[in-house]
């Protein structure tokens, strides 16, 4: 039995139909922009392997940091113990996060980083004796993860339908546009004025899984200001947007009003392994500083602050802050903008948009513009046949490359998209 047959016998893959799905591709190794397969193909990873890879695959500096750390301290319980990689990483993150961020809490991935944030906000009010503050506000169509708390504040669509009876109630806002801004602000104000809202959680400026839907920093600034004026904890889910994706270190760097809590993952380790971070303000910490043991934040994971993951993150952080990387982020943004100007008026393009290194276009189709749009089943193999990994979100094709991509490589992606528009 070959490896692919053994895979089908033993593994259940994520977001994958058990029948009528695409055949899996065996990757033997990866380097830079490319995935090298068992049948000799060289596939360009133009979506950073689910948005996690910042500096290219198998980056030698990250690999060296991981190997060195594995030989020294692979893991230790993080309750009652600590270690240098966790401390150094926390200090580095706080140095580029907004000044209002005070502490770093470690977890395992993006979904758990958001779970931590929600629990942190709920218990903040519980510890202060304001138990009526139980409501959460989120954007309609949002995605914050697949654990139950994160799922509750995300899109109530086909993915969450089997679990809807078990999810807590959430007040959903429409994604802000120029047309509905006043309506969204009014709805938000009415909700927070009630004094019952514990938290407002949002993907700042870009709703990734919703189809790279973008909204203005000015609008988010207004929402955060209204929220904080009414003592609502504002949670920025920067799991996707963090570490340069929007052209700045964080999407919140475009804002005047800074969120109270940040959730980070994906690019945190440079795409090497799983790690999550939730940061918060000193004010939130104060509600937990008590001799009463019941005011402790009773949350943790077996692999909290794993030293190897922290070492990978430190190496990725240092690479991110290099002048050459920052210059590349700027160049990618320019390339994406130029392509957007070229393609936006194509008759088959419904909408296209760019923010930093993120480019997305919506195709005109007769079906619903959602993740389950069947056009994806034509788009995905179209690009794979050309040795390019693009994983469309329904009728939305997006490019989210590692920062090492060369102009001739991204031009190849653009050419494939133009070919797709003319042939499909």
Helices (H), 344-397: 376-384
Give the residue among 361, 322, 356 at the shortest CA–CA distance from 337: 356
Indicate where the chain has its CATH 3.90.1150.10 domain(s). 3-58+323-423
355-370 confidence digits (pLDDT tens): 999 999 999 987 665 5
Helices (H) and strands (E) in the chain, counts: 13, 16
354: left (phi over 0), alpha (psi -120 to 50) or beta: beta
Rounded to whole angstroms, the Cα distance separating 356 from 414 reads 16
365 by DSSP, 3-state: which?
coil
231 by DSSP, 3-state: which?
coil
Q: Is 13:4 a contact under the CB 8 Å cutoff? A: no
Return the pLDDT at 227.
98
Indicate where the chain has its CATH 3.40.640.10 domain(s). 64-320
The domain 64-320 is placed in CATH, from the list 3.40.190.10, 3.40.50.720, 3.40.640.10, 3.40.50.10330, at 3.40.640.10
Return the pLDDT at 277.
98
Give the residue among 357, 280, 267, 282 at the shortest CA–CA distance from 313: 267
CATH 1.10.10.10 is the classification of domain 3-58+323-423:
no
DSSP one-letter string for 176-187: P-TTTHHHHHHH
Q: What is the largest CA-CA distance in the chain?
A: 68
Give percent above pLDDT 90 in the chain. Answer: 92
Q: What is the pLDDT along the chain (424 residues), one digit of tens a residue?
A: 899 989 988 999 998 888 876 789 999 999 999 999 999 999 999 999 999 999 999 999 999 999 999 999 999 999 999 999 999 999 999 999 999 999 999 999 999 999 999 999 999 999 999 888 999 999 999 999 999 999 999 999 888 999 999 999 999 999 999 999 999 999 999 999 999 999 999 999 999 999 999 999 999 999 999 999 999 999 999 999 999 999 999 999 999 999 999 999 999 999 999 999 999 999 999 999 999 999 999 999 999 999 999 999 999 999 999 999 999 999 999 999 999 999 999 999 999 999 999 999 999 987 665 566 678 889 999 999 999 999 999 999 999 999 999 999 999 999 999 999 999 8
Rounded to whole angstroms, the Cα distance separating 388 from 48 reads 11
349 DSSP β-pair partners: 363
Q: Is the model's pTM score more than 0.85?
A: yes
Q: Is 304:278 a contact under the CB 8 Å cutoff? A: no
Rounded to whole angstroms, the Cα distance separating 92 from 313 reads 10
Give the residue among 57, 112, 361, 113 at the shortest CA–CA distance from 261: 113
CB atoms within 10 A of CB 26: 13
Return the pLDDT at 376.
82
The residue ranges of DSSP E strands in 179-238, in sequence order, are: 197-202, 206-207, 213-214, 233-237
Rounded to whole angstroms, the Cα distance separating 85 from 70 reads 12
């Amino acid at each position: 039995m070959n490896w692919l047959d053994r895979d089908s016998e033993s593994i259940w893959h994520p977001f994958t139909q058990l029948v009528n799905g695409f055949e899996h591709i065996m990757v033997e190794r990866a380097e830079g922009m490319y995935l090298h397969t068992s049948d000799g193909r060289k596939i360009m990873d133009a979506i950073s392997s689910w948005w996690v890879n910042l500096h290219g695959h198998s980056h030698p500096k990250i690999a060296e940091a991981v190997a060195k750390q594995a030989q020294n301290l692979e893991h230790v319980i993080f309750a009652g113990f600590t270690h240098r990689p966790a401390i150094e990483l926390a200090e580095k993150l706080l140095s580029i996060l907004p000044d209002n961020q005070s502490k770093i809490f470690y977890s395992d991935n993006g979904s758990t980083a958001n779970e931590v944030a929600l629990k942190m906000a709920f218990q903040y009010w519980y510890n202060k004796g304001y138990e009526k503050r139980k409501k959460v506000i989120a954007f309609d169509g949002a995605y914050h993860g697949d654990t139950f708390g994160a799922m509750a504040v995300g899109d109530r669509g086909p993915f969450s339908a089997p679990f809807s009876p078990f999810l807590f109630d959430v007040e959903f806002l429409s994604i802000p546009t120029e047309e509905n801004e006043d309506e969204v602000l009014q709805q938000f104000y009415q909700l927070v004025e009630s004094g019952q809202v514990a938290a407002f959680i949002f993907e700042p400026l870009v709703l990734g899984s919703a189809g790279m839907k973008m909204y203005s920093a000015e609008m988010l600034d207004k929402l955060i200001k209204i929220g904080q004026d009414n003592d609502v904890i504002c949670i920025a889910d920067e799991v996707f947007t963090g570490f340069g994706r929007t052209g700045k270190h964080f999407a919140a760097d475009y804002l005047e009003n800074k969120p109270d809590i940040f959730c980070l993952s994906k690019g945190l380790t440079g795409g090497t392994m799983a790690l999550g971070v939730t940061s918060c303000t000193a004010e939130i910490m104060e509600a937990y500083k008590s001799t009463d043991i019941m005011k402790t934040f009773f949350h943790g994971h077996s692999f909290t602050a794993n030293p190897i993951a922290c070492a990978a993150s430190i190496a990725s952080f240092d690479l991110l802050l290099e002048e050459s990387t920052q210059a590349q982020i700027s160049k990618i943004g320019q390339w994406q903008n130029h392509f957007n100007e070229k393609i936006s008026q194509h008759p088959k393009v419904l909408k296209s948009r760019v923010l930093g290194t993120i480019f997305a276009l919506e195709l005109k189709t007769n079906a619903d513009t959602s993740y389950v749009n069947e056009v994806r089943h034509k788009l995905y193999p179209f690009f794979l046949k050309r040795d390019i990994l693009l994983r469309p979100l329904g009728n939305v094709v997006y490019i989210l490359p590692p920062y090492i991509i060369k102009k001739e490589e991204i031009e190849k992606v653009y050419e494939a998209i133009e070919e797709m528009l003319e042939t499909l």
